[in-house]
Amino acid sequence: MGKFSEYIVPLRGLKDGVSVFEYKLTNDFFAKIDDADIQKGNLTAVLEVKKTGETFELNFDINGITIVACDRCLDDMEQPIATKEKLYVKFGKEFSEEGTNVIVVPFDEGEINVAWFIFEFIALNVPIKHVHLFGKCNKEMTTKLKSVAAYDKEDADTDEATPDFDSEESETDPRWDKLKELI
């Protein structure tokens, strides 16, 4: 992780108490991570490291905006991120993760690179489904999508996309016509 050297926290060199580190996460950070979903962003990560003896409490406060592709129209969209996360770090013989938020760092190294943890916290706060607000999708793309896709009421972006099911002109499945005759 040489390209993330600015995210190294020298744990062994810290004094007891609280130390604060601040990181500006720009498009360069996301380009270095090389993730398919999040490729751009502008965030600030504030890391407070509370040292008590040989244990460390890392409190991350991450705020800003990531740029992700809209699942519906594929245009870039802003996804706000605001999260507070916590990690506990202790020294041991080799690097390992104990549970979901406890990290063991080799005493010989005495430092931890927090770049990947910051990225994971951001990625976990991006919703699985990311779509523009109602009416904000690329109209040309939604028109093309509407012409080739089955109607999904949940994904409809405009009122124009809503088929008229009550119209006598709309085609119906002949099986439904047979069932209507039974009534």
Q: From first to last of the 183 residues of the chain, give the pLDDT tens digit.
A: 468 889 999 998 888 899 999 999 999 999 898 888 888 999 999 999 999 888 999 999 999 999 999 988 888 999 999 999 999 999 988 888 888 889 999 888 889 999 999 999 999 999 999 888 888 888 888 787 777 766 555 555 544 444 444 444 456 777 888 888 887
Give 80: exposed, middle or buried? Use CB within 10 Å, 0-12, 13-18, 19+. Answer: exposed
Residue 144 placed within a domain = yes
Q: Does 93 lie in the same domain as 166?
A: no
Residue 142 is given by DSSP the state H
Domain count, the chain: 2
Residue 156 placed within a domain = yes
Query: What's the pTM value of the predicted model, to 2 decimals?
Result: 0.74
Q: Does 104 lie in the same domain as 33?
A: yes
Are the C-beta atoms of residues 163 and 170 closer than 8 Å to each other? yes
Residue 162 placed within a domain = yes
Residue 143 placed within a domain = yes
Residue 130 placed within a domain = no
Kindly report the number of other CB atoms within 10 A of residue 63's CB atom. 13
Residue 134 placed within a domain = no
Q: Does 172 lie in the same domain as 115?
A: no
Q: Does 152 lie in the same domain as 81?
A: no
Residue reference for tokens 């938020």:
101
Phi and psi at residue 63, in whole multiples of 5°? -140, 145
Q: Does 70 lie in the same domain as 101?
A: yes
Residue 64 placed within a domain = yes
